[in-house]
Structure formats: C-alpha cells, structure tokens
Amino acid sequence: MSHHCHTPCSLAASGSGHSAFPWFGMDIGGTLVKLVYFEPKDITAEEELEEVENLKSIRRYLTSNTAYGKTGVRDVHLELHNLTICGRTGNLHFIRFPTAAMHRFIQMGRDKHFSSLHTTLCATGGGAYKFENDFRTMADLELLKLDELDCLIQGLLYIDSVGFNGHPECYYFENPSDTQNCIKSPCCLDNLFPMLLVNIGSGVSLLAVYTKDNYKRVTGTSLGGGTFLGLCCLLTGCETFEEALEMASKGDSTNVDKLVKDIYGGDYQRFGLQGSAVASSFGHMMSKEKRDSISKEDLARATLVTITNNIGSIARMCAVNEVCYVFVCVCVCVCVCVCFCVCICMLSTAAVSICLATLGFSTVLPCSLVIKQHCTGLSGCTEHHQSRNSQQYPENKCFFFKSH
C-alpha cells in the first residue's frame, strides 16, 4: 500500500513565499502532547516593525521559559540550531505536556488570542481527532490533521538529513552483549530501504517501509511505554516517567526474572541459549522469599527488561519475515524528548507548521543497559538479506534514533 505525506513546501502559500509566523505543530498522543516551535532568527527590520505585539508575546513566552505551568516542559538540550526550513533560518524548540492538560493548553491559546494570528493548526496523533471539536469551540481554531505514521516516516528522513547540531542521529551498538566493550556507533541512512520501523510510544507499531512513500503496518503490540510506566507506578509507587527510569537504572532485573541458568544451571547449549537469557519474566516472584528480598528498583528494571525484550523479539521476527533492516524510533507516553522525528508541513493560509511525529523514550541509560546485557532484547534484531551490500550496515544490528 502506498502512503504519502506532503513534502516541506508542497503546501506552501503562493505569493511572496514567506509565510506568517508563528510556525509550530503538535503530536497529540495518548499520554503526552509534543509540540515543536520554529523560532526565526533571520527576521528583517521591516518584518520586525510589522509584527504585532501578540506574535512577539507568544515568541517570548515560548523561548524564554523552560517550564509552562505545572506540567509543561521545554527540553532545552534538544534544541536544534540554525536550520533552514522553507527559506527561513531559525531554531527548533521541543515542548511537552501531559495530554490530560490539553484543555488548559487550549484555554491558554484562547487567552493569548492565537486565532488572531492563525485559524488553522497542523496536528497529528489520535488527539488531533479527539480534541478537534474542543479547539474549534474553545479557541476558534481548526486542526489540519496529518497521519502520524506518514509524519513518522517523513520525519525520520528529515531529522536524519539535518542531524543533531552537527552530530548524526542514527546509531547502533557494537558488541551489545559485552558490557565492557559495548560501543555506540553512528550509522548513515544511505540505501536504507527496505526497513522495519519500530515506533515505541504508549503502544508500539511496526512498519515495513519499502520507499519513502510506500509502507505498510506489519503489526503492533499494546505492551509499550505506557505499559512500562503504568506497571512501574503500580509496583513501585513512582509518579513520573523520569522517576521510573531512574529507579530502573539502579535495579537488578535478575532478582525478579528467572533466567535460563536458574533452570539449567548454565547455558542451554543445544539451542544456543545463554544462561543469562531471561526464561521467565518475573518468574522469581512466585517465591515469597524472593518477593521479600527485592527492591523497588529491581521491579522497575525488570519491568523495563520485560517490555524491551518483548518488543525486540517481535521486531526481529518481523524483520526476518520482511527481509529488512530494523530502525527503532522510541517515543514513549511520557517523553523526555530523546528521539524525535519531525515532519514539516505547510498550510496555504497559516504557512508552516511543524508536526512532531515522535518525541522520545529516554533510553539513554536504562534501555542502553538492557541492550548491552540482554542479547534476546533489542540487540541483534535482524538478519540481513544476503543480496544487500554487506558494507552498508553491520551484520545483525538494530539501529536507533536519539538525540545526543
């Protein structure tokens, strides 16, 4: 099946070619709203004189704050500098807040009279449908809804083309099962098709992508980032995604999971199963003695391992069936904006709106450790077709997108 998402300037307004600011767009997810804002840095003196005070106020508000109310956050460390988008140069800012706070965001848009600057906003994600009527009735704004999977693919290609302030976005782990010698290495996305794109959000979707315009959704799983956070909240009492990750980074999942060596006394050599492989997630929790000896950190770590191992196993099976490379875009329910894909789309009236397709699962520490220590997890997710260029990508590797 062929799908197409508009290219950056395919919807450009006719005339001068310069579209009215502000430029921003939203991915309204099941748990988080991710917003990206383009701050122009090449405003001419004439443009500055013509700018209305309302537009200046919005720009100051978005760029001078790192927190908005109690739950909104701008991730300064992910800012992209000096990008040229549709002929304009500026910076990209990434902002996130819980979807539960959407009505407060809409109210803020009404209070700041955003509809006096734009009447239409670009948005993707399920919330673009869920909150469409609220935007219309509460703030006099229309949503131009863009398919989130179209945005994901176009965004992946876009963010790879611009990189992260001079650094590549795509990487893989060399020696993933060797904790001492595991190295993160950059990878260029030249000649990447076909690929399996694993989009980890509250849930997970796996896409087989044959060209930039042709893809299909192969499968998915409900066990994703939302599952990780939800279970951690139940098991450990944590309240935020960051807290759950911090706890997981300090835990030992082998205190919770039953390993192959716990059953066989070592490796299961006949089938090449290492003794360190997980045989039963949370398998030790059948024992009261084990339950009494574990920590909340152990439970958080075991939850992370369980979710990532499951996703890795599904991804590998799909990659073998589809004969393609695996690319993982991590985008969990409560994002820390480490991985993002941006799709640039333009409106004929509102000009440019930047639609964030995925903002990141913070895999920096905990998930990286899972990748290093569990070869049945996200490492080695695919075997490459023999006809492919063996020098293009290292054998048996899973590629990731994340900001440095």
23-153+340-359: CATH architecture: 2-Layer Sandwich (3.30)
Residue range 107-116, pLDDT digits in tens: 988 888 888 8
Please count the other Cβ atoms lying within 10 Å of the Cβ belonging to residue 167: 10
Q: What's the angle, vertex CA 312, arms to CA 307 and CA 313, rounded to 5? A: 100
Strands (E) located in 148-291: 170-174, 183-186, 195-200, 204-211, 214-221, 258-259, 278-280
Read off φ and ψ for residue 126, nearest 5 degrees.
-60, -30
Residue 250: HSE in the Cβ half-sphere, 13 Å Cα cutoff: 9
Query: pLDDT of 236-294, one tens digit each?
Result: 999 988 899 999 999 999 999 999 999 999 999 999 999 999 999 999 999 999 999 99
Residue 342 pLDDT > 50: no
Q: Which is it for strands 204-211 and 23-28: parallel, antiparallel or unpaired?
A: unpaired
How many Å apart are CA 294 and CA 43, to the nearest integer?
58
- Distance between CA atoms of 296 and 290, rounded to whole angstroms? 13
Give me the half-sphere count of Cα atoms (radius 13 Å) on the Cβ side of residue 103.
3
Q: Examine domains 23-153+340-359 and 169-251+296-334+362-401 and report if their fold is the same.
A: yes
Beta-sheet strands, E only, within 86-150: 88-98, 120-124, 142-146
pLDDT of 403 strictly over 70: no
Number of H helices, E strands in the chain: 12, 19
CA atoms within 13 A on the CB side of 205: 16
pLDDT in tens, 50-81: 777 778 888 888 888 888 878 888 989 889 99
| Domain residue limits, the chain | 23-153+340-359, 169-251+296-334+362-401, 257-293
Q: With a cut of 90, say whether residue 156 has pLDDT above it.
A: no
**Per-residue confidence (pLDDT) for residue 353, from 0 to 100:** 24
CA–chain centroid gap for 263, Å, is 37
> Which H helix or E strand runs over 116?
none
35 strand-pairing partners: 26, 95
The Cα diameter of the chain in Å comes to 76
Question: Is domain 169-251+296-334+362-401 in CATH 3.30.420.40, yes or no?
Answer: yes
For residue 23, what are its two tokens? 């430029």
Is residue 169 part of the annotated active site? The answer reads no
pTM of structure: 0.75
Active-site annotation holder among 47, 53, 142, 148: 148
Helix (H) or strand (E) holding 354: strand 351-359
